[in-house]
């Protein structure tokens, strides 16, 4: 795996880099160390980046939309030119007051009852994927729970919701990879990737304009904000958001949860024997392995608890680090499957709460239920070193070789 353009990290308090391959693999240790020594770290990389790691600080920044803008939410060497308050992928890149309007139109299709209706389809999809993997298992082959399973579930579901061709799933994964993990590509290359993605989405939009149908893309083309239909750039920006945010994140949550069960046989056995634990277990896995770190840009020079933050510096918002803060959670560093009180921030805090949280939860729960029903006992095939973790703000295993010890 390639390293950061800035070279290896020399010191995690003063030179950290979330794109260093060491970061996601050892994130928990890094955050824990910082929490004890330097709870708001600063690095000169990417034009200046701050990293708060306590629940209190992450929460404060998430709520402070005056001092921190969402105009750009993925740290890179170049700050996108899309102006506030809309940004390039509304509403995640929008600030108040526009944010409220852009979000409001998206809430109904992702509200709980609308999402519950997808459960059967998600279950069938998981079973189909498991059928193929079961053949590999029967033939004595190692399976890859990230590549053959986790990554396929959200891609398939979001493609159906948007009404995009299911055959284009590899293409979507390529886009996601380019945007979220291509942090260190040179600006021209990033720009070319982004244009490729925009062109693809515009072709899908054109197709929906010609042939309207009952899906999210047609919905976006017809919905109105204050009596007016959305500009095509708004529609395409929102689709970029749904495509990108819906895929990598859930894929990571499913993969990390399976990684946990593969490395903690007692938890795997307990979850199999006590299915009633599933609801608290899912929340606990979300807390402990929260995949998403958002970012903000400093909106104006200001002092944050003694830290001199400068306009247009990046601030990483590691919700997973907040979730592991011992001041916010007793036994924070343990996975407690029946944790009853769990105010985790896996889906963010404040006005940008993950729009797809109901869908992500559904996909995660069904994916785990089906996986352990088919494969009640499994372990890592090549140990922890055989697992490859993602690079950048979305944390999860990208290669997860599994040996199935018992198949049903």
Partner 1 sequence: MSARIESCPHCARGYCALMRIHVDADKCQGHNRCYALAPELFDVDDYGNAVVVGDGSVAPELEEKARLAVANCPEFAITISE
Query: Binding to partner 1 (CB under 8 A): which residues in 257-286?
Result: 279, 283
**Closest distance to partner 1 from the beta carbon of 226 (Å):** 17
CB of 152 to partner 1, least distance (A): 25
Can residue 113 be called a binding residue for partner 1 (CB under 8 A)? yes
Figure out which of the listed residues 77, 142, 169, 342 binds partner 1, where binding follows CB under 8 A.
342
Q: Does 107 bind partner 1 (CB under 8 A)?
A: yes
Which residue is associated with the tokens 């407690």?
336
Q: Which stretch binds partner 1 (CB under 8 A): 5-13, 30-38, 91-99, 343-351?
A: 343-351
| Of 347 and 378, CB closest to partner 1 | 347
Q: How far is the CB of 120 from partner 1 (least distance, A)?
A: 19
Q: Which is nearer to partner 1, 343 or 384 (by Cβ)? A: 343
From 66, 78, 104, 141, residue interacting with partner 1 (rule: CB under 8 A)? 104
Q: What is the full DSSP assignment across 201-246? A: HHHHHHHHHHS--SSHHHHHHH-EETTEEPPHHHHHHHHHHHHHHH
Would you give the distance in Å from CA 90 to the centre of its chain?
Answer: 17
350 binds partner 1 (CB under 8 A): yes
Which contacts qualify for 336-342: CB closer than 8 Å, 24 or more apart? 336/284, 337/267, 337/270, 337/271, 337/277, 337/280, 337/281, 337/284, 338/277, 338/280, 338/281, 339/280, 339/283, 339/284, 339/287, 340/280, 342/280, 342/283, 342/284, 342/287
Separation between Cα atoms, residue 60 and residue 277, nearest integer Å? 32
Residue 319: count of CB within 10 angstroms of its CB: 24
Closest CB to partner 1 among 108 and 386? 108
Q: Contact with partner 1 (CB under 8 A): which of 112, 265, 326, 383?
A: 112
Find the shortest distance in angstroms from Cβ 352 to partner 1.
Answer: 8
- Total of chain residues touching partner 1, rule CB under 8 A: 22
DSSP notation for 227-239: TEEPPHHHHHHHH
Angle of helix 232-263 relative to helix 187-210, nearest 10 degrees, comes to 110
Among 288, 347, 375, 389, binds partner 1 (CB under 8 A): 347
Tell me whether residue 104 or residue 141 sits nearer to partner 1 (CB atom): 104
Judged by CB under 8 A, the chain residues 357 through 386 that form the site for partner 1 are 357-358
CB 355 to partner 1: min, Å: 9
Cα separation, 192 vs 38, whole angstroms: 38
Residues 2-21 that bind partner 1 (CB under 8 A): none
User: Which residue in the set 213, 229, 327, 343 belongs to the binding site for partner 1 (CB under 8 A)?
Assistant: 343
Name the DSSP class of 376: S
Provide the minimum distance between the beta carbon of 40 and partner 1 in the complex, in angstroms, as a whole number.
Answer: 21
Considering only the stretches 30-38, 74-82, 210-218, 348-356, report the one whose residues sit in contact with partner 1 under the rule CB under 8 A.
348-356
CA distance 297 to 76: 11
Residue 236 CB, nearest approach to partner 1 (Å): 24
Helix ranges (DSSP H) in 38-104 = 55-63, 98-104
Question: Residue 281: which of 367, 237, 339, 231 has the closest Cα?
Answer: 339
Question: Is 99 an interacting residue with respect to partner 1 (CB under 8 A)?
Answer: no
Stretch that binds partner 1, among 108-116, 125-133, 136-144, 165-173 (CB under 8 A): 108-116
70 near partner 1 (CB under 8 A): no
What residues have CB less than 8 Å from 29, skipping those under 6 apart? none
110/200 with CB nearer partner 1: 110
Interstrand relation of 49-52 and 314-318 (parallel, antiparallel or unpaired) = parallel
CB distance 397 to 256 below 8 Å: yes
Task: With residue 303 as reference, give the H or E element that holds it.
Answer: strand 302-304
Binding flag, residue 194, partner 1 (CB under 8 A): no
Q: Among residues 353, 382, 384, 405, which is the contact residue for partner 1, using CB under 8 A?
A: 353
Measured CA to CA in angstroms, residue 135 lies from 33, 126, 132, 403 at distances of 44, 15, 5, 13
- In angstroms, give the least distance from the CB of 349 to partner 1: 6
Q: Is 340 in the site for partner 1 (CB under 8 A)?
A: yes
Chain residues in the site for partner 1 (CB under 8 A): 104, 107-108, 110-113, 279, 283, 340-345, 347, 349-351, 353, 357-358
């Amino acid at each position: 795996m390639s390293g950061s353009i800035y070279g290896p990290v020399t010191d995690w308090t003063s030179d950290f880099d979330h794109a260093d391959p060491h970061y996601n693999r050892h994130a928990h240790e890094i955050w824990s160390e910082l929490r004890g020594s330097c709870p708001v770290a600063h690095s000169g990389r990417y034009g200046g980046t701050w990293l708060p790691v306590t629940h209190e600080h992450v929460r404060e920044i998430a709520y402070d939309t005056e001092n921190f803008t969402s105009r750009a939410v993925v740290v890179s060497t170049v700050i996108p030119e899309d102006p506030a308050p809309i940004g390039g992928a509304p509403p995640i890149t929008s600030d108040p007051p526009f944010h409220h309007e852009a979000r409001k139109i998206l809430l109904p299709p992702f509200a709980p009852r609308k999402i519950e209706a997808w459960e059967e389809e998600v279950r069938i999809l998981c079973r189909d994927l498991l059928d193929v993997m079961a053949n590999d298992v029967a033939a004595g082959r190692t399976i890859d729970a990230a590549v053959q399973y986790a990554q396929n579930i959200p891609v398939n579901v979001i493609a159906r919701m948007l009404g995009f061709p299911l055959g284009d799933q590899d293409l979507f994964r390529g886009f996601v990879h380019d945007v979220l993990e291509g942090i260190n590509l040179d600006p021209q290359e990033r720009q070319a990737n982004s244009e490729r993605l925009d062109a693809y989405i515009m072709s899908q939009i054109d197709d929906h304009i010609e042939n309207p149908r009952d899906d999210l893309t047609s919905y976006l083309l017809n919905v109105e904000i204050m009596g007016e239909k959305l500009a095509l750039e708004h529609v395409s920006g929102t689709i970029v958001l749904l495509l990108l945010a819906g895929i990598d994140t859930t894929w990571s949550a499913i993969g990390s949860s399976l990684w946990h069960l593969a490395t903690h046989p007692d938890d795997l056995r307990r979850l199999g024997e006590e299915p009633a634990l599933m609801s608290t277990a899912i929340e606990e896995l979300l807390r402990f392995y929260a995949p998403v770190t958002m970012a903000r840009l400093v909106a104006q020079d200001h002092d944050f608890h003694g830290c001199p933050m400068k306009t247009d510096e990046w601030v990483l918002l590691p919700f997973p680090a907040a979730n592991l803060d011992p001041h916010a959670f007793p036994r924070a560093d343990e996975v407690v499957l029946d944790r009853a009180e769990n105010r985790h921030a896996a889906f963010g805090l404040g006005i940008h709460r993950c729009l797809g949280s109901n869908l992500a939860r559904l996909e995660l729960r069904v994916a785990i239920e089906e996986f352990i029903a088919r494969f009640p006992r499994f372990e890592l095939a090549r140990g922890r070193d055989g697992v490859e973790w993602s690079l950048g703000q979305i944390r999860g295993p990208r290669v997860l070789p599994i040996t199935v010890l018992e198949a049903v």
